[in-house]
Amino acid sequence: MRGRLLGEPVGYSAHGGWILNHQFLKLHLVENSTPPQYEAEIYLGFDASRDRYVVHWLDTLGAKPSATLGYGKREMHGLRFQFDYESGPFRDTLSYDAGAQVWQLSVERMGEDGTWVEFASHTLHRRDKAVLVE
C-alpha cells in the first residue's frame, strides 16, 4: 500500500481477511518505517437492518478518535464512509480499478469552507501482483 499522507509519500504493509463468521472484513495496516509510526486495524461490516456499512477504525492515535464509527453506502465501484469526528467530518472512499486490478483509498477532511480536501490517498496492490503505483 503506497500513497500520500498530508502530501508526503508514505507506505504501509496491509493485510486483510474475513473474520467472525464472515461478518467483518479486517484490514491491518503497519507503516513501513522502523519503528513504525502508525498502525491501524479496520473492521468493516454490513448492517442489513439499516442497509449501510459500518467501519470501526482502531489505530495508534488512541481511543478518542476510535469512538467514532464510520457509516457508508455502496457506490458504483466501491464504498464511501463518513466519520463525524469531534474535530470535523472525514470521509473515506474505497474503490476498485478493474483495469489496473488495484484498490484506491481516498481520505478527505472537510475544509473550513465546507469543501472536501485530500488528507491521504493510497493504492493497494496484491502482493503477488505488486506494481508500485502512487
Q: Is residue 134 part of a domain?
A: no
- For residues 82 and 70, the answer to whether their CB atoms sit within 8 Å is yes
- Gyration radius (Cα) of the chain, Å: 15
Its pTM stands at 0.84
Tens digits of pLDDT across the chain (134 residues): 899 999 999 999 988 899 999 999 999 999 998 999 999 999 999 999 999 999 999 999 988 888 999 999 998 878 999 999 999 999 999 998 888 888 899 999 999 999 999 999 999 887 764 443 33
Looking at residue 100, the DSSP 8-state letter turns out to be T
Within 13 Å and on the Cβ side, how many CA atoms surround 94?
Answer: 15
**Count: domains in the chain:** 1
State residue 77's pLDDT score: 79
Question: Per the structure block, which three cell numbers stand in for 108?
Answer: 478527505
Q: Is residue 58 part of a domain?
A: yes
State residue 56's pLDDT score: 96
User: Which CATH number is 13's domain given?
Assistant: 2.40.128
> What region, left, alpha or beta, does residue 91 occupy, with left being phi > 0 and alpha being psi -120 to 50 degrees?
beta
User: Which domain, by its residues, includes 87?
Assistant: 2-129
Q: Is residue 17 part of a domain?
A: yes
Residues 43 and 35: their CA atoms lie apart, in Å, by: 24
State residue 128's pLDDT score: 62
